[in-house]
Chain A
Amino acid sequence: MTPTPDELNRFPVQIGRNSPIPAQFRGIEPGSGSTRLGVYVHVPFCSSRCGYCDFNTYTAAELGDSVRRDGFADVLAAEVGMAAASVGARTVDTVFVGGGTPTLLGADGLTRILDAIRGAFELAPDAEVTTEANPDSVDERRLADLRAGGFTRISFGMQSSAPGVLAVLDRTHTPGASVAAARAARRVGFEHVNLDLIYGTPGESDDDLRRSVTDVLEADVDHVSAYALIVEEGTPLARRVRRGEIAAPDDEVMADRYLLVDDLLTGAGFTWYEVSNWSRPGGECRHNLAYWHSDDWWGVGPGAHSHVDGVRWWNVKHPRTYAERLGADASPEQDREVLGPDERIVERVMLGLRLAEGLPLAALPVPERAEPEIESGLLVRAEAAADRLVLTRQGRLLADAVVRRLVA
């Protein structure tokens, strides 16, 4: 598909590699905003699709011959070049390769993308460079290659230790594989290792979850993300729930499980720093913090979202369309929004309140609205600074309701 002139115009740059930055995109002219940038890279491939997943990812069978995995690192690298042409000289201090299953590109593919970032931008010496990985698709040697290629942090989708739960989620790895992979990552020198958990899967017991957290703690990681299972519209899981084959996740159970995870991790020396994220001191994911701080990042890849200087845009979702655009030196942008003052306020409250560091009282449109939330025990003033508001444990479970009332 060839992009229309209109589509081309919407992108921050006219894609010819040497073309000038068009005047209509004033929002992110070089030097106008921050000097730093996060880069997210989306790898839209999986070997099989999990029933709960609604991410923008495709199996080889779904893509057929239209998209080649082996050349895809170069396509992504091409967008990195465009990013640099658009935002100009910035220091990239975090990189996060997610998916999909990034490791399907192989260590060399991932390294090639990282090299492209290094070539286009200045990569900070202490940059945090993360990739997600499927415990099945790495071994110690591949992990060593990734570490050697410049990756400093790795995140495995463990989800659960309970075979029954993994089966409901369609996960193909064995319960022990994630722990083994995490340990291997530590051995080859990854500074930071994360394991993802999903709780509240129908059929999961409290003991299943306890066991999962215990395993995570034994794996010697410094970061844990734990997510309540979301039954997303249009997924096979949603169909199974609708047909009554699987019970719908229960809110009460979800709330109890969340508190259980929090208790177990806190007891083991972890601290929550975002609603669904816990780390040992210094183990926070800097890249993700940039999202919650509304910093600038460029999302490379099909369907990836970007945010630079108050402009959010997102790429076309299908890898083939995406590759065709880039092949034609055209922008992969599908659409965008320019945030107005009200929208920025809403985002700041919505994102900032998710963090343990809290939100400055002054960021609220009507600061007095915090009072009833404090009274009902959902918000507290931060211990370190009385002018910052932080969710209580109860408040974390009702964060969206609190945000709705604060910005209403």
Chain B
Amino acid sequence: MPVPKPGSTDPSVIRNFCIIAHIDHGKSTLADRMLQQTGVVDARTMRAQYLDRMDIERERGITIKSQAVRLPYTGQDGNDYVLNMIDTPGHVDFTYEVSRSLAACEGAILLVDAAQGIEAQTLANLYLALENDLTIIPVLNKIDLPAAQPEKYAAELAHIIGCPAEDVLLVSAKTGVGVPELLEAIVHEIPAPEGNADAPARAMIFDSVYDTYRGVVTYVRVVDGHISTRERIQMMSTGAIHELLEVGVISPEPMAAAGLGVGEVGYLITGVKDVRQSRVGDTITSERKGATQPLAGYRDPKPMVFSGLYPIDGSDYPELRDALDKLKLNDAALVYEPETSAALGFGFRCGFLGLLHMEIVRERLEREAGLDLISTAPNVIYRVDLDDGTEVTVTNPSEFPTAKVARIFEPVVRSTIILPSDFVGTVMELCQQRRGTLLGMDYLSEDRVEMRYTLPLAEIVFDFFDQLKSRTRGYASLDYELSGEQESDLVKVDILLHGETVDAFSAIVHRDKAYSYGVTMAGKLKELIPRQQFEVPIQAAIGSRVIARENIRAIRKDVLAKCYGGDITRKRKLLEKQKEGKKRMKMVGRVEVPQEAFIAALSTTDAPQKK
């Protein structure tokens, strides 16, 4: 029997699945073994982390990612199958993208490190998979490790999924043990895709990547009908029509094909240059005799966290704008508009899906465009009802209305925290401090607990993850998703330096925390701002009411006592260095503030880490 070709593959031999795993739990290594054991990559060309490495290599002018790999596989029953392994983006801010990847599959491998157990984010993605009615194949990886506790964690997984512990497959992706059994389980347990081959074409976009050479590469799962190369397609959310330049599959190199049929997974190239024109979750249909009803589940990406981004060197502003424009091509969720700060100069107000998204964007701007950036403290989006019945949306503390505020609403999230039971007390305390409401708590196993909290998003974006990690010695994991908004008693705290408001330091906080924010910020600035030739008061104020105050004493002596022959060179060099330092000073009224003081005052603790 010939290997089934893309575009003419019987849906009954297709198995679409993804791997849900925490970072470091061995997803890439498992993918390597599956590439090898299905024979799609031979031993000679095999290398470690095969799929991960392709995106840096840019072979043949296309940025290949492991979004969806087609693995032809001959089962132990002698039949030929096509296994489509679909990648899921790995973190908390991209729940929506994850849900679309899952929606492209019928099954999911739940891959958990046998020495560590399940993490919060994996659990959250598992729940998403269950919501999408996916068949779950529970797998414990790294069973070859001496620290592996397969029995304990198999029981944990069984408890979570509700299956017998014996059904959990034991695998070592490193040695290959258990992988043949896993491939068989995929074939036998995951249902084949179902769809109407004769209906108008409907394909769901589950990823969309900008490539310098080819434009946007769109990854789709065909649900109904057939998509052929050279036809014209329509994006159902916008109605936009595009010419299909290429259709293909990745196996594991990109291979152009005549088309894609029901249940198949592959890529499309249309020549569009901006991922906004090819949005995750959207439905693609044929221009002629197209579908009238899109697939369910499309959502516009909505930024939830906002921050000002400013170049440290003001003359880098055009570079920052260009870098953002470029990044936008590959990031449908990033929004930004120019903003001016008295303290920081020209920059952009940027909106992100969440804190991690923000960190990723900032890191990419710094790394790929070589920019040095300052970001203001992140804030969330607030809805303010005024006395006269009008409504104001606030994404920047400077827009916060100062009078006639009737009610203020802030976004809240539903969070899941998994942690060793020893730390329950300290984490409850943290969540309480952060205005959290406990929704429930479950023991996953004897010593591991899942806690669910409702928390204001504003509290999460403000160093919550760092606090959680440090209070649990790194053992806790966190996941959250938006769950509406709540009315809160919020105020704007301004920081005044020598009587001038420093816009970059203004913050919207809960009234109960205004004082502590003011005291902390004033204290920090007192340490960070060098003494001037006059006394500089630092005040924290709500409106015109001062709630905290510090003073920077005037400098009275700034002269080197001794300057003789042997001191001159050293003294001149010191002076030249200080001159350079002066260039990095920003003037706030008459006060000279070093750039470093802004950076240090705006960094809460360390930057949030990736999960």
Partners in one complex: yes
Residues on A lying within 8 angstroms of B by beta carbon are 40, 227-228, 230, 251-252, 254-255, 258, 275-276, 288, 291-292, 297, 299, 303-307, 312, 314, 337, 343, 346-347, 350-351, 354, 376, 396-401, 403-404, 407-408
- Known contacts A227-B561, A305-B569, A398-B555; can you find 8 more A-B pairs with CB under 8 A? A254-B556, A346-B576, A347-B568, A347-B572, A351-B568, A397-B557, A399-B559, A401-B558
Residues of A within 8 A of B579 (CB): 404, 407-408
A228 touches B564 (CB 8 A): no
* Chain B residues, Cβ within 8 Å of A347: 568, 572
Contact call A307/B562, Cβ cutoff below 8 A: no
B558 pairs with A291, CB closer than 8 A: no
> How distant is A277 from chain B, measured CB to nearest CB, in Å?
10
Which residues of B, 537-586, contact A by the 8 Å Cβ criterion? Answer: 553, 555-566, 568-569, 571-572, 575-576, 578-579, 582
Contacts of A399 in B (CB 8 A): 558-559
Assembled-state Cα–Cα distance A288/B567 (Å): 12
> Do B558 and A398 touch across chains, with their CB atoms under 8 A apart?
yes
Contact B568 A251 (CB under 8 A): no
Does B569 lie within 8 Å of A276, measured CB to CB? no
- Name which residue of chain B comes closest to A56, CB basis: B566
B560 cross-chain contacts in A, Cβ below 8 A: 230, 400
Whether A228 touches B558, Cβ cut-off 8 Å, given contacts A376-B533, A408-B579, is no
Give bound CA distance, A107 to B600, whole Å: 58
Interface contact B556-A255, CB-CB below 8 Å = yes
Interface positions, chain B 501-559, Cβ under 8 Å from A, are 533, 553, 555-559
Which residue of B has the minimal Cβ distance to A305? Answer: B566
Measured between alpha carbons, how far is A397 from B533 in the docked complex, in Å? 11
Are the C-beta atoms of B562 and A276 separated by less than 8 Å? yes
Contacts of B571 in A (CB 8 A): 350
Q: Which of B366-382 contact A (CB under 8 A)?
A: none
What B residues does A400 contact at CB under 8 A? 558-560, 575
With A227-B562, A230-B562, A403-B575 in contact, do A312 and B557 touch (Cβ < 8 Å)? no
B290 to chain A, nearest CB (A): 68
A-B complex: 9 closest residue pairs judged by Cβ atoms? A255-B556, A227-B561, A399-B559, A305-B566, A228-B561, A401-B558, A255-B557, A251-B557, A291-B565
Contact of A230 among B553, B561, B566, B578 (CB under 8 A): B561
- Tell me, in angstroms, the Cα distance from A343 to B569 when the chains sit together: 10
Contact indicator B559/A275 (Cβ below 8 Å): yes
A337: chain B residues at CB < 8 Å are: 569
Residues of B within 8 A of A258 (CB): 557
Let me know if B559 and A398 touch, CB within 8 A: yes
Partner of A254, one of B557, B572, B576: B557
The docked-state distance in angstroms from the alpha carbon of A343 to that of B576 is 9
- In the complex the two chains form, what is the Cα distance from A205 to B576 in whole Å? 36
Q: Quick one: closest A residue to B566, CB to CB? A: A305
In the complex, what's the smallest C-beta–C-beta distance from B536 to chain A, in angstroms?
A: 15
Q: Give Cα A288–Cα B566 distance, bound, in whole angstroms.
A: 11
CB–CB A276/B561 < 8 A: yes
B559 smallest CB distance to A (angstroms): 4
22 contacts between A and B (CB under 8 A): A251-B556, A252-B553, A254-B556, A276-B562, A292-B563, A299-B565, A305-B565, A306-B565, A314-B566, A346-B575, A347-B572, A351-B563, A396-B559, A397-B556, A398-B533, A398-B559, A399-B559, A400-B559, A400-B560, A401-B558, A404-B575, A404-B582
Report which of B555, B576, B582 forms a contact with A251, defined as CB distance below 8 A. Answer: B555
CA distance A369 to B566 in the complex (A): 29
B566 near A299 (CB under 8 angstroms)?
yes
> Are A407 and B565 also in contact (CB < 8 A) when A251-B557, A397-B557 are?
no
B559, B563, B564, B572: which contacts A397 (Cβ < 8 A)?
B559
Chain B contacts for A312, CB-based, 8 A? 568-569
Q: Specify the chain A residue showing the minimal Cβ separation from B571.
A: A350
Contacts of A251 in B (CB 8 A): 555-557
Most buried by A among B555, B560, B576: B560
Do residues A407 and B575 form an inter-chain contact, with CB atoms below 8 A? yes
List residues of chain A with CB within 8 A of the CB of B564: 288, 291
Bound Cα distance A320, B567 (Å)? 23
| Cross-chain contact A307 with B568 (CB below 8 angstroms) | yes
> Within the assembled complex, what's the spacing in Å between the Cα atoms of A89 and B568?
26
Candidates B553, B557, B566, B582; contact of A408 at CB < 8 Å: B582
Bound state CA distance, A254 and B559, in angstroms? 11
How near does chain A come to B566, taking the closest CB pair, in angstroms? 4
Q: How far is the CB of A370 from chain B (nearest CB, A)?
A: 16
The CA of A306 and the CA of B557, in the complex, are separated in Å by 29
Across-interface contacts of A401 in B (CB, < 8 A)? 533, 555, 558
Q: Which residues of chain A are near B566, meaning CB under 8 Å?
A: 299, 303-305, 314
* Complex CA distance for A258 and B576, rounded to whole angstroms: 26
Hey, which chain B residues are within 8 Å of A275, CB to CB? Answer: 559, 561, 563
**Cross-interface CB contact of A228 among B557, B568, B572, B576, cutoff 8 Å:** B557
With A346-B572, A350-B575 in contact, is A297–B559 under 8 Å at CB?
A: no
Contact partner, A314, options B553, B558, B563, B569, Cβ 8 Å:
B569
Chain B residues positioned under 8 Å from A288 (CB to CB): 564
Most buried by A among B533, B559, B572: B559
Complex Cα distance A337/B576, Å? 15
1/0 per residue B570-606: CB within 8 Å of A? 0110011011001000000000000000000000000
A275 to B576, CA, bound (A): 21
For A343, give the chain B residue with the smallest CB separation.
Answer: B572
Contacts A346-B575, A376-B533, A404-B578 given; indicate if A398 touches B565 (C-beta within 8 A): no
Most buried by B among A230, A307, A350: A350
Question: Which residue from chain A places its CB closest to the CB of B531 in the assembled complex?
Answer: A251
Chain B residues within an 8 Å CB radius of A351: 563, 568
Taking the nearest CB of chain A, how far is it from the CB of B407, in angstroms? 50
Complex: A94 Cα to B569 Cα, angstroms: 21
A343 to B533, CA, bound (A): 26
Q: Which of B51-73 contact A (CB under 8 A)?
A: none
Which B residues between 473 and 510 are near A, CB-CB below 8 angstroms? none
CB within 8 Å of A: which B208-254 residues: none
CB distance from B465 to the nearest CB of A (A): 35
CB-defined contacts of A303 to chain B, threshold 8 Å: 566
Q: Which residues of A lie under 8 Å from residue B563 when comparing CB positions? A: 275, 291-292, 350-351, 354
Contact A252 B556, beta carbon cutoff 8 Å? yes
A404, B565: Cα distance in complex, Å: 20
Which residues of the partner chain A approach B578 to less than 8 Å between Cβ atoms? 404
CA distance A292 to B565 in the complex (A): 8
B568 to A, closest residue via Cβ: A347
Tell me the minimal C-beta distance from A350 to chain B in angstroms: 6
Task: Give the docked Cα–Cα distance between A343 and B572 (Å).
Answer: 8
